[in-house]
Structure formats: C-alpha cells, structure tokens
Structure 1
Amino acid sequence: MSAETTRRVVLMRHAKADFPDGDDHERPLVERGRKDAPRVGRWIADSGFSPDQALCSTAARCRETWKLAVGELPQRPRTVYEERLYEASLGEMIAILNEVDDEVGSLVVIGHNPGLHALADALAGEADGDLLARMNRSGFPTAAAAVLTFTGSWKSVEHGIGTLTAFWTPHH
C-alpha cells in the first residue's frame, strides 16, 4: 500500500459494564452491554467495513465487547490485545496508532473513555454533516463507534488529519 492510501479507523468504546467492588480492569459487561456489543459489530459489517486488524484493550469489558462484536463481521481480523490502551491518554493513543503496520488499510480500536472520545475529536479535522456535533453532544456512550478516514501512513497520524465519516450509538 502506498503512502497515498486512504485508511480507515473505527474507534469503538466497550459496551456497558458492571461496577463491582474490586478490580476495574476485570469489570464484566452487564446484560445491556452483552446485547449492544453484537449490534455495534452488525453496524460495522452493514457499513461494508472489514477491518484488517483490531487493537483491543486488555480490560475484560473490552475483550468481551470485541468477542461479541467480531462474530457479526464477515471475516475475523487479526486481533492484538494492547495493554497500553487501558487508561491511555490521547498522546499515548496517537503513539499506538503511529506503530500500526502500513499493510493495515483499516483498523478497529476497542477501548475506553475519555481517551477514545478525545482521540476521535482530535483526529477529526473535518466531519461529514453534523457528525462532530452529534458525537460531542453524545459524550461517546458505551458501545458507540466513530469512523474516521485519512490519507497517508499510520506514522503520519496526528491532530486534525482525518475526516469523521460516521458515528453510531446503540441508543439514539
């Protein structure tokens, strides 16, 4: 793939999780989360989007969300469980994207707020229609997904590089 390749990244927040007393990293999904996760997978598939690779936070709620969502996709992408996505700052998330191999044309990232929302907002130099306003009004709820496109290599990912082309939430 050349440097002029149009790339796509889907930022997916984990589905609704429980708040037990205990280890935040191991919080499981609640029933609503288990219903919403396959719906976001179906939405990605219906968008005609077939990711080459997934980067998934090691947190239980992200792994469980991805496991339920990926079953709806036409093909299962190579999945990398990335512990740095757990509690990642905006700068850390951009650094992780900068490491993606340029053979990857389309990527899905399964992670957490506030980092994911900040990343979507930072990358979106422009947006189709009122998508940016809708995304920012929504606060990027659980099981939401934002799709951004950009041209160039993953190493070139930085603030304002992309266009927000879609935003979906399970509960409009």
Structure 2
Amino acid sequence: MSGPDAKTLVLLRHAKAGWPGGVDDHDRPLAERGHRQAPAAGEWLLEHGIVPDAAVVSDALRTRQTWVWVAERLGESAPTPYLDGRLYAADAARALAVVNETEETVRSLIVVAHMPWLQDLGMRLMSLDSDQEAALSMSEHLPTLGLQVFRVDKPWAELDGRDAALTHFAVPGR
C-alpha cells in the first residue's frame, strides 16, 4: 500500500562506543571501531537512495559522533540534526512521541539513538506487510550501527503501532 504520500523513517543505532573509566554513560565516545564503522551507514543510505530531510539525534556523545560520520558521507544534502535530550533515556513510547512531533513536510526522517528502546520501537511500529526476513533479523539482534528503514503511509502524528512497514534491516560495514 505504498502511495505517493509514503514517507521514510530510518532508525539507526549509534556505532560501537567505548567505555572509558570515569566517564558518565551520556558522555561515552565512540570507540576506534565505531569511528571506522559509522561512515558505512551514510554510504548505505546513499546506495539505497535514502537521504533524510530531517535528523533527530540523541544528545549523547556517541550518537552525535555517529551522526557526524553519517552526515559527512551524505555531504551537502545532510540535514542539520536536531539534538533531543529526551531520546537518551527514553522508552519506545516516549521516543515515538518525538517522531510524532515531526512536521508533515518532512518526507524522510532519521533518528539516531540507543538500545534497548530503538529495537523496541522498531518492533512496535512493524506492520504485517513488513519484509519478513528484515523483521526476523532485526527482532533477533540490533547490533551497533543497526539500521531499520520503514515505509510510513500515514501522518507522522498518527504513528502508533503496527502501522509502518519495515522495508530494510542492515548493519552497514559488516
């Protein structure tokens, strides 16, 4: 049921983060592997013709750093991110409320954030017409840089559950 008004929602888990001693979880940076890994998400988006109009990024350091690498690959077409502190300690319902605030003029939205709610939100949104292989893979494990792509056929404000089709699940750079 993909119509001319279909939109795209991308949920991206941050790249691999480090655990430096004495650093608060919110301020954890990407590990070296994360810095090497993160650009692959931007490359994957470009290869699949997905260039977001808007980006909502958790204000945690590792998600901001992940977005910098993704945006670098997207080049001049990368949107300026909106840093949203609510996404750091959110659950799926609170994160969905952030997505619901998206202006209807946005045709493609990327959200860069954290586990466990990122996987929970994907599971909540997945409609029956989702790609079954992608759905099984994403439901089993959402590793760092796990990327979920949904087709949204209704207004952002009306997304609630089982109403977006998962079209792709990928872990770029693997």
TM-score by length of 2: 0.93
Counterpart for residue 136 of structure 2: 133
What percent identity do the matched residue pairs reach? 35
Runs of 4 or more, structure 1, over 3 Å off, are: none
| In structure 1, distance between residues paired with 2:44 and 2:71 | 11
Q: Deviations over 1:22-42 (max 9, x none)?
A: 211110111110011000110
| In structure 2, distance between residues paired with 1:117 and 1:43 | 19
The one-letter amino acid of 1:149's match is: R
Contact 2:126 2:161 in 1 (8 A): yes
5+ residue gaps in structure 1?
none
| In structure 2, distance between residues paired with 1:34 and 1:68 | 8
| In structure 2, distance between residues paired with 1:171 and 1:64 | 16
Q: Deviations over 1:78-126 (max 9, x none)?
A: 3100110102101101111111111101100000000110011110113
User: Following superposition of structure 1 onto structure 2, how do residues 37-56 of structure 1 map, counting pairs within 5 Å?
Assistant: 37-56=38-57
Q: Number of residue pairs matched?
A: 169
Q: Deviations over 1:124-144 (max 9, x none)?
A: 11311411111112x210011
SS at match of 2:104: coil
Q: Give, in angstroms, the shift of residue 16 of structure 1.
A: 0.3
| In structure 1, distance between residues paired with 2:103 and 2:94 | 17
| In structure 2, distance between residues paired with 1:39 and 1:171 | 5
Counterpart for residue 77 of structure 1: 79
The one-letter amino acid of 1:60's match is: L
| In structure 2, distance between residues paired with 1:52 and 1:35 | 25
Contact 2:40 2:173 in 1 (8 A): no
| In structure 2, distance between residues paired with 1:92 and 1:129 | 26
Greater share of strand: 1
Q: Which moved more, 1:23-32 or 1:70-79?
A: 70-79
